[in-house]
Each structure stands twice: as C-alpha cells, then as structure tokens.
Structure 1
Amino acid sequence: MKVGLDVGGTKIEAVAVDGDLRVVGRVRIPTGWGPDAVTRTIVEAVRALGTEAGVDLALVRSVGVGIPGQIEAGSGRVVHAVNLGVEELDLVAALEPRLGVPVRIENDVKAAALGAYALLSGAARPPRSMAYLNLGTGIAAGIVSDGVLWRGARGTAGEVGHISVDPNGPLCRCGQRGCIEAFAGGGAIAEHWARRSALPVRDVFDAADAGEPSAIQLRAGLARGVAAAIRVLVLTADVDIVVLGGGVTALGDRLMTDVAAELSASAEASPFMRSLRLRERAELLPPGSPAAALGAALVGAAGDARHDTQEALIHG
C-alpha cells in the first residue's frame, strides 16, 4: 500500500493506493499555514485515511507528497512555497519520524504529471509521452516519457508559464511582459478583473457572454495563453498528448471551445501547424481526478527502494 498527498494552498487531498494502482481510500482536509502547520496537517491527512476512509495503515510502506514550490534536487527540502507560508522546510526530515515509513517529495505539478500519465496508461492506446499542463493560479507543465519524468538540466523543464509570447503584453510577476501566465494564469486574470469574487475566472466568462468588453478581452487572452502553451509543449517536446488540469479547467467545454478556436486559427495560416493536429492532441483531465495525489504516491513508492522495510505508520 502507498499513500500520496497533494498539498494545495487551501486543502490537502490524500489517497491510499494498492499494488494495482487502485485508489482504495481518499480524504480531504484543510491545509495549515506555515512550516509547522503544513507538516502537522500532512500527518493528520495520512491518519484520516485510517479513521475516515477505513484504510489499514499497517499496510502502508511509503508516503509521497506533491507540494508547491521548488524541490531541492536530491533532498527532502522544499523552498519558496509562498502559497503555504513556507520559505524553507526539510519536509522529509519533519515527516519520516512521525510517519515511520520512507517519505519522498516532489513539486505538485510534476507529481500530477506522473499521476495523469498513470491514468492514461490504462487506456486502449496509451501515449508514450505526455505533457500535463496545469492551469491554476500560475501556469506550469510536467513532461513524462515512457513513465519517466523529464526534469531538464536544472529541473525547470515544463516552466512554460514564463515564456513571453507578446513583448508588448501585460506585465508578468516574473518581470517580463506578455508571458503565457500573464494571459492565462488564474491569479493574473483575477488581478486584472479586480472585482471581489470567489471564482473570478468563471465570472469573467459569464461577463464575456453578456458582452462586457473588458471580460471579452480577458477571456480571449486566456484562450490565447493556453493555446500558446500547448503549441510550445508540442513543438519543443513533441509529446503525444497535452493533458490540461488545474482549477481553471473546471470551466470544461467553455474553456476548451475557446482554446480549440485559437488553435484552429493559427493552423489556418500554416500548413505546418495544421500537420501537427494540435486540437486532437489536447484534452482535459477528467473532473475530480486524483492525478496529483496518485502521482505523489508513485513518487513515494519510488523512494521506498532506498530503505529497508520499516515499521508501519504510527496510529492515533
């Protein structure tokens, strides 16, 4: 049995996965703020699998954690997880004594990429390569080929959000202008919308449907940014498929219709772009999919080989 956790800015999703990669338990709890609270709520989420989901924690042999921020290569440290109030934390050192099993951590988008690839591997014609494009507060991707995560020379493979596609475009938080994230990131859209709302991107779409000019412009920019990210991922990595996930994809067909139109418009002007069949190579992650937590479980299981068999998880 493996446990995987997707640590988000507001909630932690934890899953228990058996040897056939079947999710046998799943819980969600609020995420704490700051290093100590993040650590504590991760432990609470694991224990909740036993108390709320009926998982036998004595069978668990590894824990994997997908978390925002930068993961220092070869370590258990996460840095700059600003949405969690964590500047620097050795998460593995904090968790292993409390859980009693091997723990590994990974960037949340990269973990989700592994999980999405595992879900697609059960399809009738599984892809050899895949990019997972996360559309959330920011924009980033993870690239998987033959089941292996591609990190690049310095771990930045897939950071497509900060590719500038318009030097005269809106200012991005990275300091450049016209980045994909400045057009399509949920945080950037909410900032430009500048109206208090629990779901600002959805409100932008609704206002655009009602004919509001500023909303129409923001909605068009979102489609332009997502289409640009898909083109970049296919043109640079030539992946079989680009899977879109993250909070913005809750818009479903409303989003994909706009993105498909943007991809079609660029293909009309270029026989080469038409040959890439980009519309056919982009799809949404199914709603409610536990891809990120599943991927984290796979990350944890990969680390289990580095350890001898240890005691089961602490109960209570």
Structure 2
Amino acid sequence: MRLGIDIGGTKTAAVAIGEDGELSDQVRMPTGFGADQVVATALRTVERMSDLAGVDASAFASIGIGIPGAVDSATGRVRHAVNLGLEGLDLGSRLSDRLGVDVRVENDVKAAALGAHHLLGIADGIRKHSMAYLNLGTGMAAGIVLDGTLLRGGHGVAGEIGHIPVDPAGEQCGCGQRGCLETFASGSALARMWPTEHPLPGRDLFDRADAGEPDAVAVRERFLTGVASAVRLLVLTTDVEDVVIGGGLAALGDDLLVGVRRILVAWSADSAFLDSLDLARRVQVIPNGFPAAAVGAALIGGPAWQKS
C-alpha cells in the first residue's frame, strides 16, 4: 500500500492506495500551525492510517505529502507556506528520520494533478498521457501531466498560470502584477467582485445570477470567462487532452462546467482554429469529494513521478 497525505491550511486528509489501485477510507484531522505542529500533524496522520491498516508505518511501500508552498521535491523542503506558518521546513527529512521510511513531498496542486490523472485512468480503463488540473481555490494554479510525467519546470513553478497577466489595466494581484488571471477566476477574485456574508460565496453568486439579478449575472460571466481563458491557455500551451477543474470552487459542479463550456463554444463559433481544438469537450470538473491531492501524494513515491 502507498500512503498519501494532503496537508491543507486548516485540515489534513490521508488515503492509502492498494496494489489494485483501490482507495482506502479517508482520514481527516485538523492541521497544526507552525513547523513543529505541521510535523506532528503528519506523524499523527501516519499513526492513524497505520492503525487502520493494521501495519507499521514501515510497511507502506511509499509515503507522500502534498502541501501548499514552494516545494523542492528532490529534498522535501517546503518554503513560503504562509497559511501553515512555514517559511522553511525540511519536512521530508524530518518525517523520514522519525518514521524510518523515505517520505517524498510535492506541492499540493501538483499532487492533485497526479490524483486527477489517476482518476481519469480508472474511468477510461487506460492511463491518460496528458492532462492539466486547474485548481480554483483562494488563488489559481495548475498541475500538468505530460506523457505520463509530472511537469515541474526548471524552478518548480510550471503551471502557475494564475499569475499570467491578461489585462495590464486590471486589478493588482497579490503577486504584484496587474490583471492576472487569478484576479478574475479564484476565490479571492469572487470575494472582491461579489462581497457577501453567505458562507458559500460562489453558490450565492450563481443562485442569484440564475434568479436574474443583473449584477450577479455580470460577475458570474466575468468569473466564467476567466476560467474559460485558463482552460484555453492550458490547451494552447500544452495541448493536454483533458483539463480537470478542481479546488474549492469545483463544488459548483455542473453549474460551473456548463457555464465554462458555453463560453468555450461561443468562442469556437467565431474561430475555426479554436473550433478545431474542441475545447469544450476537453474540460470537466472533478467529482465532489474526491481526495485528489491525497491520492496524488500517495503516488509520488513511484519512479514514474520523480522526473521533472
């Protein structure tokens, strides 16, 4: 069995994958804040999964961690995970020393890309060769799998499409640039464009747009156009067969998928080139509740994923 752990800003999730590709039950627990507490959370999660599996931690074929921030996958060092209170942590080596097992660490979005890739392979009965996972959370980022290999890039920032400027006169992004894709299509973008006390701002926006509120319709279309632009960008730069939308805003489900496809179809009607790419067919939304980052983390110990 391979163990995968997704360490998020507030909660940590874990899942084990058997040799047959089947998933175990998930374990969820709160994430501690700061280096020592993050390590402690990971150790408690391994202990809990070991108890459920009835084996010692050393019996897992591999242990992988998906975590926010800048991750050096070769050394297991995590930097700039501000929501976890981490400016620098040698997470992989600290866990390996405590567990006596090699622990590999990957950025959470890249790990989720592997998880989505695994899911598509199960659904189709084959291993997909190329796909992108478009994460719509507080920010926007993508993980890309090409020819069965996770794309990391020379500095580990492959897929950071949320910080590609598309409107030089647009809103200032947290990265310091203006008009980035993330300022149109992300949780932070919705919070700015659609301020509300509703616990689910995206759901509130879509429901009000469906009810015909003009302001809601305008914001929804701006958001959907940003997501569709990200899909188009990923296909034009990497020619992936599938773009799988995940992250917190993927909970919008079919409403999100239908809206994005509608915009892609409209663009294709005006461009024979785009029409030939069949963009609407390539996009889908990950099933609600699928633990993509934890599944991907379970897979990163394998040799197929250790390339860049």
Per-residue Cα deviation, 1:135-155 (whole angstroms, up to 9, x for no partner): 111111111123211122222
Matched, 1:78 2:78: yes
CA distance in structure 1 between the partners assigned to 2:135 and 2:243 by the alignment: 10
* Amino acid across the alignment from 2:132: A
Matched, 1:144 2:152: no
Matched, 1:198 2:199: yes
Q: Give the structure 2 partner of residue 32 of structure 1.
A: 32
CA distance in structure 2 between the partners assigned to 1:73 and 1:118 by the alignment: 20
For residue 55 of structure 1, report the CA deviation from its aligned partner: 4.3
Matched, 1:56 2:55: yes
Indicate if the aligned counterparts of 2:250 and 2:256 stay in contact, CA closer than 8 A.
yes
Q: Give the structure 2 partner of residue 230 of structure 1.
A: 231
Which residues of 2 match residues 166-205 of structure 1 at below 5 A? 166-205=167-206
SS in 2 for 1:171: coil
State which drifts further: 39-48 or 168-177: 168-177
For residues 192 and 78 of structure 1, do their structure 2 counterparts lie closer, same or farther at Cα, with a shift above 3 Å needed?
A: same
CA distance in structure 1 between the partners assigned to 2:64 and 2:127 by the alignment: 24
CA distance in structure 1 between the partners assigned to 2:120 and 2:39 by the alignment: 31
CA distance in structure 2 between the partners assigned to 1:57 and 1:244 by the alignment: 36
Q: Give the structure 2 partner of residue 309 of structure 1.
A: none
State which drifts further: 231-240 or 91-100: 91-100
Structure 2: state its 5+ residue gaps: none
Q: Give the structure 1 partner of residue 272 of structure 2.
A: 271
Indicate if the aligned counterparts of 1:4 and 1:294 stay in contact, CA closer than 8 A.
yes
Which residues of 2 match residues 273-312 of structure 1 at below 5 A? 273-302=274-303
Q: Give the structure 1 partner of residue 220 of structure 2.
A: 219
Per-residue Cα deviation, 1:15-35 (whole angstroms, up to 9, x for no partner): 112222221342111111111
SS in 2 for 1:184: coil
For residue 291 of structure 1, report the CA deviation from its aligned partner: 1.9
SS in 2 for 1:15: strand
Indicate if the aligned counterparts of 1:16 and 1:55 stay in contact, CA closer than 8 A.
no
CA distance in structure 1 between the partners assigned to 2:269 and 2:304 by the alignment: 47
For residues 273 and 55 of structure 1, do their structure 2 counterparts lie closer, same or farther at Cα, with a shift above 3 Å needed?
A: farther
CA distance in structure 2 between the partners assigned to 1:56 and 1:304 by the alignment: 25
For residue 112 of structure 1, report the CA deviation from its aligned partner: 0.9
Per-residue Cα deviation, 1:8-65 (whole angstroms, up to 9, x for no partner): 11211101122222213421111111111111111111112234x3442352132100
| Identity over aligned pairs, percent | 53
Q: Give the structure 2 partner of residue 15 of structure 1.
A: 15
For residue 127 of structure 1, report the CA deviation from its aligned partner: 2.9
Indicate if the aligned counterparts of 1:103 and 1:303 stay in contact, CA closer than 8 A.
no
Indicate if the aligned counterparts of 2:148 and 2:304 stay in contact, CA closer than 8 A.
no
Indicate if the aligned counterparts of 1:102 and 1:304 stay in contact, CA closer than 8 A.
no
SS in 2 for 1:121: helix
For residue 125 of structure 1, report the CA deviation from its aligned partner: 5.3
Indicate if the aligned counterparts of 1:61 and 1:102 stay in contact, CA closer than 8 A.
no
RMSD across aligned positions (CA): 2.0
CA distance in structure 2 between the partners assigned to 1:166 and 1:269 by the alignment: 21
CA distance in structure 1 between the partners assigned to 2:286 and 2:145 by the alignment: 15
Matched, 1:245 2:246: yes
State which drifts further: 270-279 or 70-79: 70-79
Per-residue Cα deviation, 1:206-228 (whole angstroms, up to 9, x for no partner): 23233334332321121011100
For residue 97 of structure 1, report the CA deviation from its aligned partner: 2.2
For residues 303 and 270 of structure 1, do their structure 2 counterparts lie closer, same or farther at Cα, with a shift above 3 Å needed?
A: closer
Indicate if the aligned counterparts of 2:73 and 2:106 stay in contact, CA closer than 8 A.
no
Greater RCO, CA 8 A, separation 6+: 1
Q: Give the structure 2 partner of residue 313 of structure 1.
A: none
CA distance in structure 1 between the partners assigned to 2:81 and 2:116 by the alignment: 23
For residues 37 and 191 of structure 1, do their structure 2 counterparts lie closer, same or farther at Cα, with a shift above 3 Å needed?
A: farther
Structure 1: state its 5+ residue gaps: 306-316
* Amino acid across the alignment from 1:11: K
For residues 280 and 271 of structure 1, do their structure 2 counterparts lie closer, same or farther at Cα, with a shift above 3 Å needed?
A: same
Per-residue Cα deviation, 1:140-184 (whole angstroms, up to 9, x for no partner): 111112321112222221111111222233222122222111011
